[in-house]
Amino acid sequence: MAAMDDPGPRGWFGSFGGCFVPEALVPACEQLASAFRAAMADADFLAALAGLQRSYAGRPTPVTEAARLSEVLGVRVLLKREDLAHTGSHKINNAIGQGLLAKRIGKTALVAETGAGQHGVATATVAAHLGLGCTVYMGAKDVARQELNVFRMELLGATVVPVTAGARTLKDATSEALRHWVTAVDSTHYCIGSVLGPHPYPWLVREFQRVIGDEARAQCAELLAVAAPDVVVACVGGGSNAAGTFAGFAGTQARLVGVEAAGGAALTDGRTGVLHGALSWFLQDDDGQIRQAHSISAGLDYPGVGPEHAWLAESGRAEYHTATDEEAVAAAELCARTEGILPALESAHALAWVHRAALAKDLAGGATVLITMSGRGDKDAATMREFLRGRR
């Protein structure tokens, strides 16, 4: 298949993807795939989606020239500002699309998983706007470190269910959301938040997030004397903001770089396996059991990547690197002090790699680098404060 193309009726990106779900969910996945394909060919659906993106989510988000950060790093840095979208991150793009799709197929409620809470907030926001019920599963560890987002979801009318099983993080929340969907599939749509899960979710979420890359490519074409930046960088947990960004540039000569958390680097430390309905790369022990991931960023605290990222890595169209907790926090501080922009800790991993690569001359002096600022850092202020207190 061509880079970032249609994965076909069975949802395969090369040798990754597929639909590995309980028999009770097979009809729901098939219905969703058919409904999504029809919706994306329906001018009325596309007009409704574009209308909400514009009037409700606040699109298009700008590309900001980061002049002072560029001076420090020795490369020209452009920031795609998803932190300025409604609810504070790129997650609203996908939530709006799936909310409209859920109504189109007659569902009355949404169920979602969340790690950092941004997808949960976006899903709760869209559910309130469209008059849908909403239940959000969140690992108990993440509930504790993202109290503000939990309160936001509850204010929006969602039921937040802490998950105490396993590592009490995003993986476990995803497992519980899938179990909920099995019991309520007739009335409930599972609004998955990343390019994970069974077909059609990795494709569907990428297409709803493609607006990031399509906008950024057009904006960069106005700013630059060439067709695209030299390098396009985004953080990768499951990988939705990266997939959406890369989709706009896959057909160009731009170097595509995804940055994982060092403690959850499936493409560096993992191997192939099946989890949450798809075949991809996951952290595993010698017996094939899923290993616990770690990241200071709740949104990157997932032991795998979406199947399309596994294929992009295998095909060589994208490359994947890591950043540590320490590097991410330092990058967030640097961005805040040079640009007056406090990034989410997820986005700070992408900034951290650019910082490291610039110092190591892995980026040519004067190269143009587009970084997707996937979310704002308000939610992480308490986490950063505790981290910095412990370090100083």
Query: pLDDT above 70 covers what percent of the chain?
Result: 99
Q: What is the chain's mean pLDDT, rounded? A: 96
pLDDT at residue 221 is higher than 70: yes
pLDDT of amino acid 353: 98
Q: In the CATH hierarchy, which top-level class contains the domain 18-52+90-201? A: alpha beta
pLDDT of amino acid 126: 98
Q: In the CATH hierarchy, which top-level class contains the domain 60-89+210-391? A: alpha beta
pLDDT at residue 1 is higher than 60: no
pLDDT of amino acid 76: 97
pLDDT at residue 246 is higher than 90: yes
pLDDT at residue 249 is higher than 70: yes
CA 7 to each of CA 125, 163, 171, 250, 307: distance values in angstroms, whole numbers, following the listed order? 30, 32, 24, 15, 11
Compute the average pLDDT of residues 62-71.
98
pLDDT in tens, 140-196: 999 998 898 999 999 999 999 999 998 899 899 999 999 999 999 999 999 999 999
pLDDT in tens, 277-299: 999 999 999 999 999 999 999 88
Compute the average pLDDT of residues 371-380.
96
pLDDT in tens, 75-85: 999 999 999 99
225 falls in which pLDDT band (50, 70, 90)?
confident
Q: Read off the pTM.
A: 0.96
Three-state SS string over the chain comes to: CCCCCCCCCCCEECCEECCCCCHHHHHHHHHHHHHHHHHCCCHHHHHHHHHHHHHCCCCCCCEEECHHHHHHHCCEEEEEEHHHCHHHECHHHHHHHHHHHHHHCCCCEEEEEECCCHHHHHHHHHHHHHCCEEEEEEEHHHHHHCHHHHHHHHHCCCEEEEECCCCCCHHHHHHHHHHHHHHCCCCEEECCCCCCCCCCHHHHHHHHHHHHHHHHHHHHHHHCCCCCCCEEEEECCCCHHHHHHHHHHCCCCCEEEEEEEHHHCHHHHCEEEEECCEEEEECECCCCCECCCCCCCHHHCCCECCHHHHHHHHHCCEEEEEECHHHHHHHHHHHHHHHCCCECHHHHHHHHHHHHHHHCCCCCCCCEEEEEECEEHHHHHHHHHHHHHHHC
Compute the average pLDDT of residues 66-91.
98
Catalytic positions are 91, 113, 374
pLDDT at residue 22 is higher than 80: yes
Task: Please list the residue range(s) of the chain that carry CATH number 3.40.50.1100.
Answer: 18-52+90-201, 60-89+210-391
201 falls in which pLDDT band (50, 70, 90)?
very high
pLDDT at residue 314 is higher than 60: yes
